[in-house]
Structure 1
Amino acid sequence: MPDQIHKEVLLLGWEGEENLGLRYIAAYLQESGISADIVPINGFCSSDISEAIKKAGPRIVGFSMIYQRMLSDFKELIASLREDQIGCHFTMGGHFPTLEYNRALRCIPGLDSVIRHEGELTLVELYRHLDSPEHWAEIKGLVYRRDGRIHVCEPRPLIEDLDILPFPLRGGEIRRHRNLKISSLITSRGCHYDCSFCSIQEFYRGAPGRKRRSRSPENVVQEMRSLFDSGTRIFVFKDDDFGMARPPQKRWIEAFIRSLEESGLANEILWRISCRVDEIDAEALEALRNAGLCFLYLGIESGSNSSLLAFNKHYDVHKIYESLDIIKRVGVDFEYGFMMFDPYSSMQSIKENIESLKYICKGGRAAVHFTKMFPYVGTAIADQLKKEGRLKGHFSIPDYSYLDPRVDQLQTFFNTRFYNIIFDGQGLMSRLSFALMDSVVAERFFSETLNGKSYRMGVEKLVNEYNSSILDAMELARAFMESRSRREIWQDWSILGRMVEERLSVHGSISRALEDLIPN
């Protein structure tokens, strides 16, 4: 909750990790002479949030809603705040309200306006003209409610020079690992690519300007130096796509590494980036590793060429394997995103996905996990499902059925049998992934007291055992259902359950061995 009593603007949003969108806006407001602070709403406790707002007495409360599934939570929260006699201006930003501003305002009667696309300049202008609603029509990027009608202003051009922005506001609860401070930051905004399931392109598309812009390497390192001096040793870059392959990005990386070395940070820190599989470049990756890069997050997404085509990824499975071989050769660790199920999944594509996961995670390099593709509003794949008449459910929680009904049964079975293992934050998969990361941190920062290499070998062995059991169970279930009709699947459901549980029975011993392995 805010430390100071009075704030002119309060920004509310989810902060599982640092919400850089809100933190950039708060910093820009403060630089513009407008006092601002952030209230995390991870638990959506309306009474606590109401108390924080009343204590701060802001003129504007800004809500950050990235995902449409949070719509009902925000609707209930805002209604509760209005019932509690909070009458200041309520505005909202984020992916969903940017793309569905009419729907957001109609669904949330207590909301006064929406700020589309990037929020820094628009929110400052709204604050300065808050008492002059006749001026609101001239505020680019604003959508507002007035006289029972929704008024849409022209979009505001995207910020071209990101270096003009102050560094994000820092504060609140600090993430740590082995008492090492962790900070998030970005080097860019936007993405060059157009994956059919992703809303990033759609978020920026309606605003004039280049859809991907980068900060200067020197500006990024200046922020890193400031964070390092305040205790940060682990940096998580939250760019939508860091990139290595394009010539301009290669030149950026060269300047970035040079600046890191000149600052004295390169040998003192550990950092992670997110990168596309087809952006992996061996020479650039090796140079980044030498400057402290230890982790990659790869949006692999699928191990089936048919799904990769539907996702508009512009690469095939062979490219995935090629890039993974480069990563292994260079010696960088990775995590990955993977959608086992998508609207066009078949028993064959799922078989291909399982086979690909064997390669992706071989040797215990990463722990097997997967998810289902979510049809976010405004994305090409959601629009295609709508045209096909397959998009169902409430628009805030859309869903779809598969072309082969047995895939619905398989997904239901996977959710039932694997949910606690894979999707629970305290499940075996999460704990193994944590241990893999922890072993890298141990070797990087605590080599004198912890045997990071030995620790890593032990973790990889356990991850490999876990992967074998999960992949075996997944393929067993897939083949079991492929050879049966829908009716036979339901009849033999319990039989399949017992067979899968036998494959997963090793998890107890893996869990106990992991507890013994992690050093204090």
Structure 2
Amino acid sequence: MKILLATLSIEPESRNENNRNAAYSLGLGYLHTVLEAAGHNVKTLFLNNVDYSASDAAFFSAVKEMRPQAVGFQVFSMNRVATFAVIQKLHDADPEIRIIIGGVHTSMMYEQILKRFPYAVAVIGEGEHTLTELVAALAGGRTLENVNGLAYFQQGQVKLTPERELIADLDGLPEPRHEIFFDSEPARSVGHIISSRGCPFDCTFCCLKVISKRRFRARSPERVAAEIKGLKNRYPRLKEIQFHDDTLLLDNARVIALCKLLVNEGLKLNFVCSARVKPVSEDMFYWMQKAGFTKVMFGLETGSEKLLQSIHKGITKADVLNLFKTLKPYGFNVTTFLMCGFPGETAETVRETIELVRATQRIKYNLVSGVGKLWVYPGTDVYRVMKAAGKISDDFWMTEQPVPYFTVEHDVATLTRFENEMLENLSFLNIFTFRGFYRHFLRMPLGITRFFIKPSNGKILLSVLAAAAQRNFPVIYAKLYAAYKNAVSGRSDALPGGSDNTP
């Protein structure tokens, strides 16, 4: 069977345009591999970071060229607008093409989507086994009720087949088809990988727990190391691997075992990951540094003890301070992720966040490049609060509006004020503004200076200078940056937009 898989353009604010090293869809990479292994002819399109018109044009060009019998769309909240428009247009043009939808947003909102597009079939949850069985049923002309993990429209109503169990043995899956993303981007030097799935925690703003059921499942260190080694062998230009696990560091012993394997391989790669504040250990950080980890990004979200409890983060201020004391001897850069606008957020909780992050920066300087206003996704606790307050309904997700912020207690202008307050006090990108210089740099001039004079941080310093130029001389900056992009088109290390320059 000829199958086209696609993930389409996301909302403009969140696109990573002009970045050839941007994260790619490992989910589609895995689906591509399992469908090929089942004997199907598969093509995959990764179009998240192009605008709507370019995404539309590339998709229909591929349809014309391939003439697929089935098309599978990865749907998440930020690409639903482009995806829904293309689904309708595709069906109008060729009703014989079977349309399959999956992804996080589909798993949350399959009923309303199928009522809009009753000719589609929805894959609920993890898709590798479900999609393989679904395609086999379609190719064989069989009915769908015996395929677990599906939703579809029949006889005027949405039908749901029995739930698909989570994949227990991740080592039993083949590696994702990285070639899709490397061969289409000859300048790509950053690879992306998932070594585990799931998170056992219960954060009120996270929708992934609906998919993973708060169950952590891990691949063996040997399989992960082999995938990384294979990538490096196939693509000698590879310089960096970014891990996209929900909770990579959850099992410290497993991380240490993986790092020891990477040390033995001597691949000369840099590694980047995101992580929770705990559990951590000196032994784990020692082996991570030895293996080549150069950046770890921690999700703190807020420095308010009250909010940390109410959002079910599962950490305390003491845990945060302990983390940075443990991190202090190690050389990798640390980024701290912050958000504002949680239920209960006030000027005082914003001040608490500033004070806690300042305390961590004095222990070991860590980078705050942005502060996210709280987005609201279906399936989350904060979405239910928004619905109960009459601020949103399920009908919202069939509109063309962008993913909304949590505005039950504060309007967007107030959230922006909270955001700016944090940035002026904590962000390295603001040190060349009057308020940033006074509130951030002068609070810890030696620590910030020591950080930026490290030779390995030269590109980060360049991003600070670029941010200052953009803020103070926007017209000149725009012209220079446009000229620069044209001059280095195709390079992976382009100035402020390249991932190598992202702290």
TM-score, scaled relative to structure 1: 0.74
Structure 2 counterpart of 1:371, which letter? G
Residues 381 and 49 of structure 1: is their aligned pair in 2 closer, same or farther, counting only changes over 3 Å? same
SS at match of 2:133: helix
Match of 2:59 in 1: 49
- 122, 129, 133: which one pairs with 1:121? 129
Other structure's SS at 2:45 match: strand
The range that moved more, 453-462 or 330-339, is 453-462
CA distance change for structure 1 residues 310 and 391 in 2, over 3 Å: closer, same or farther?
A: farther
**1:12: which partner in 2?**
6
Q: Which residue of 1 aligns with 2:92?
A: 83
| AA partner of residue 164 (structure 1) | G
Contact 2:369 2:429 in 1 (8 A): no
The two structures, once aligned, show a CA RMSD in angstroms of 4.1
The answer as to 2:225 corresponding to 1:224 is no
- Contact 1:343/1:373 (<8 A) preserved: no
Which one-letter code corresponds to 2:116 in the other structure?
Answer: C
CA distance in 1, matches of 2:83, 2:386: 26
2 CA distance for matches of 1:229 and 1:10? Answer: 28
In 2, Cα distance between equivalents of 1:452 and 1:224 = 32
Q: How does 1:249-268 map to 2 (within 5 A)?
A: 249-265=251-267, 268=268
Give yes or no for contact 1:276–1:298 (8 Å, CA) kept in 2: yes
Letter of the aligned partner of 2:63 in structure 1?
A: I
Residue 277 (structure 1) shift:
0.7
State the match for 1:313 in structure 2: 313
Q: Take 1:56 and 1:120, find their aligned partners in 2: how far apart are those partners?
A: 22
3-state SS of paired residue (1:143): strand
How many Å separate the matches in 2 of 1:30 and 1:174?
Answer: 18
> For the structure 1 residues 317 and 462, does the alpha-carbon distance in structure 2 shift closer, same or farther, using more than 3 Å as the test?
farther
**Cα distance in structure 2, aligned partners of 1:287 and 1:418:** 33
What is the CA distance between 1:131 and its match in structure 2? 4.9
Tell me what 1:485 maps to.
none
For the structure 1 residues 41 and 418, does the alpha-carbon distance in structure 2 shift closer, same or farther, using more than 3 Å as the test? farther
| Structure 1: gaps of 5 or more residues | 1-6, 432-450, 470-503
Q: How far apart are the structure 1 equivalents of 2:97 and 2:255? A: 45
Q: Could you say if the C-alpha distance between residues 9 and 176 of structure 1 is closer, same or farther in structure 2, counting changes exceeding 3 Å?
A: closer
Contact 1:274 1:298 in 2 (8 A): yes
- What pairs with 1:113-512 in structure 2 (closer than 5 Å)? 113-131=121-139, 135-174=143-182, 181-205=189-213, 211-230=215-234, 231=236, 232-244=238-250, 249-265=251-267, 268-361=268-361, 365-391=366-392, 395-396=396-397, 397-403=403-409, 408-413=412-417, 453-454=454-455, 456=457
Per-residue deviation, 1:104? 1.7
1:107 deviates by: 3.2
Residues 338 and 372 in structure 2, CA contact (< 8 A), matched pair in contact too: yes
- Structure 1 position 365, deviation (Å): 3.4
Deviations 1:70-108 (A, max 9, x none): 323221111122232353110111111112210121233
The residue that corresponds to 1:100 in the other structure is 109
Structure 2 unaligned runs (5+)? 10-21, 398-402, 433-451, 481-494
* Contact 1:140 1:156 survives alignment (8 Å): yes
Report the Cα offset of residue 331 of structure 1.
2.2
Q: 1:321 to 1:509 in 2, by over 3 A?
A: farther
The 2-side partners of 1:392 and 1:408 are apart by: 19
Task: Tell whether the 8 Å contact from 2:3 to 2:41 is kept in structure 1 after alignment.
Answer: yes
Partner Cα distance (1:510, 1:318) in 2 = 42
1:64 is matched with 74
Mapped contact 1:54–1:86 kept (Cα < 8 A): no
Distance 2:31 2:475 in 1: 47
One-letter amino acid of the counterpart of residue 297, structure 2: Y
Shift of 1:455: 5.8
In 2, Cα distance between equivalents of 1:300 and 1:175: 36
Deviations 1:298-348 (A, max 9, x none): 111111112211210111223212212322322221223210222321121
Distance in 1, Cα, partners of 2:185 & 2:288 = 22
CA distance in 1, matches of 2:92, 2:421: 43
State the one-letter code of the partner of 1:252: R
Q: What amino acid maps onto 1:365 in structure 2?
A: N
3-state SS of the aligned residue for 1:113? strand
Matches of 1:509 and 1:357, distance apart in 2: 34
Shift of the alpha carbon at 1:9?
Answer: 1.1
Structure 1 stretch displaced more, 53-62 or 407-416? 407-416
CA contact (8 A) 1:282 1:330 kept: no
Q: Give me the whole-angstrom Cα distance separating, in 2, the residues matched to 1:76 and 1:226.
A: 38
For the pair shown, the structure with the greater C-alpha radius of gyration is 1
CA distance in 2, matches of 1:77, 1:139: 26
Normalised to the residue count of structure 2, the TM-score between the two structures is: 0.76
- Equivalent pair of 1:345/1:402 in contact (CA under 8 Å): no
- Measure how far apart 1:47 and its partner are: 3.5
SS in 2 for 1:39: strand
AA paired with 1:9? Answer: I
Counterparts of 1:350 and 1:311, CA distance in 2:
15
Pairwise CA distance, 1:428: 5.5
Identity of aligned residues (%): 23
Change (3 A) 1:187 1:37: same
Q: Distance in 1 between matches of 2:184 and 2:354?
A: 34
Distance in 1 between residues matched to 2:476 and 2:360, nearest whole Å: 24
Contact persistence 1:235–1:271 (CA under 8 A): yes
Q: Could you tell me whether the CA contact under 8 Å between 1:364 and 1:461 is conserved in 2?
A: no
Q: Give the total of aligned pairs.
A: 438
Alignment partner, residue 484 of structure 1: none
Identify if the C-alpha distance between structure 1 residues 306 and 390 changes in structure 2 by more than 3 Å, giving closer, same or farther. Answer: farther
Amino acid at match of 1:39: L
Compared CA separation, residues 378 and 84, structure 1 to 2 (3 A): same
SS at match of 1:196: coil
